[in-house]
Amino acid sequence: AALFMDGARKGSVVSRANSIGSTSASSVPNTDDEDSDYPQEHYKESYKDQRRRAHTQAEQKRRDAIKKGYDDLQAIVPTCQQQDFSISSQKLSKAIILQKTIDYIQFLHKEKKKQEEEVSTLRKDVMALKIMKVNYEQIVKAHQDNPSEGKDQVSDQVKFNVFQGIMDSLFESFNASISVTSFQELSACVFSWIEEHCKPHTLRDIVIGVLHQVKSQLY
């Protein structure tokens, strides 16, 4: 009987130890599985953070570029620098900067067209003067090649009278067409007068009229 009781006690102790061991073993977490899953989860979170950070940086660069563009426009466009007194203490909005920029571009286009027209007019005047220069050079050359031709046929006084009559006739139209208020207005009037009163047929008519007048005085 004593042996049976000792055996029973030992069995009870062993069973308890086994149950405690199994319970402890079951309560211990599976560190191998979790260790194998943790790096992958950490990598995923890190990749998301990197994409989020890259997107944030790209968005910030875009906003900085836009801000710099508006600052450059405000510095370049003169009308953005000449603010009204009512808004001089306020910062110009993007809409105002854009509108002023558009207006300034349209102004530049008009000025460019106006300058192109002025350049075209000046080129025509230069061409006309070149033609006159060539004609005068031909006249001078013809006189140099034949210095005796026409000698003693017309006196210097008659030549001067013809020249004076031509100049007087031209001065009448010149004086009526020219304004000396400013140099710019004077230049414009001179070119207009040349185009209107110094055409070949007009000059021919003036010379013919002066010659008739001088002839009537001589005879």
Rounded to an integer, what distance in angstroms lies between the CA atom of residue 166 and that of residue 206? Answer: 7
Predicted local confidence at residue 189, as pLDDT: 87
- Give the total number of structural domains in the chain: 1
- What's the maximum distance between 2 C-alpha atoms anywhere in the chain? 186
Rounded to an integer, what distance in angstroms lies between the CA atom of residue 212 and that of residue 2? Answer: 174
pTM: 0.41
Predicted local confidence at residue 18, as pLDDT: 53
Instruction: Judge whether 211 lies within some domain.
Output: yes
Highest mean pLDDT among 7-11, 87-91, 145-149, 213-217: 213-217
pLDDT one-digit tens code per residue, 127-176: 999 999 999 999 888 888 877 665 567 788 888 889 999 999 899 888 88
Instruction: Judge whether 134 lies within some domain.
Output: no
Across the range 90-106, mean pLDDT stands at 88
Instruction: Judge whether 210 lies within some domain.
Output: yes
138 neighbors 190 (Cβ within 8 angstroms) = no
Predicted local confidence at residue 216, as pLDDT: 82
Instruction: Judge whether 181 lies within some domain.
Output: yes
Across the range 205-210, mean pLDDT stands at 90
Instruction: Judge whether 40 lies within some domain.
Output: no
Does the pLDDT value for residue 198 go beyond 80? yes
Rounded to an integer, what distance in angstroms lies between the CA atom of residue 49 and that of residue 55? Answer: 10
Instruction: Judge whether 178 lies within some domain.
Output: yes
Predicted local confidence at residue 117, as pLDDT: 93
Instruction: Judge whether 10 lies within some domain.
Output: no
Instruction: Judge whether 71 lies within some domain.
Output: no
Does the pLDDT value for residue 93 go beyond 80? yes
Domain of 213? 157-218
Predicted local confidence at residue 2, as pLDDT: 46
Q: Please compute, for residue 13, the number of CA atoms within 13 A of its CA located in the half-sphere on the CB side.
A: 6
